[in-house]
Structure 1
Amino acid sequence: MSSFTTHLRRVHDATLPGRVRHANLRCCLVQFSPYGFRATYDHLCRSAGISRNPEQGTDALVRPA
């Protein structure tokens, strides 16, 4: 099993396809989900504007610093 930081780096890697980045975000949530997986995922999708379609809206996966 990979670490949280490994998955986080993959989410931030813009050279990876959107589907891979989205899957890595979900892996991060498996390891850290303060409200439970489903509630945390839904909260992130609504608050950050993450699309349910992994190929669209990959910019929303990473917030600007």
Structure 2
Amino acid sequence: MSMELTLQQIVEGIPKSLLNASDRDLEGFQKILEETIRLREAHRNLQKMVKNFSSSAIQRS
């Protein structure tokens, strides 16, 4: 079971060092977040592909 975080939980978990970070640091953090989102979407797509493949393989046998 996956745990979905609420926006409030995410905000509460942001350390003060990040809140006081420079623009350059924030740009780096933003890139990390964007890649994390892409990775999560790719993982979901992969799960769907595996599920579809498994379903079609079962139907063929």
Give the alignment's TM-score, normalised by structure 1: 0.30
Q: Which has the higher contact order (CA 8 A, sep 6+)?
A: 1
Give the alignment's TM-score, normalised by structure 2: 0.31
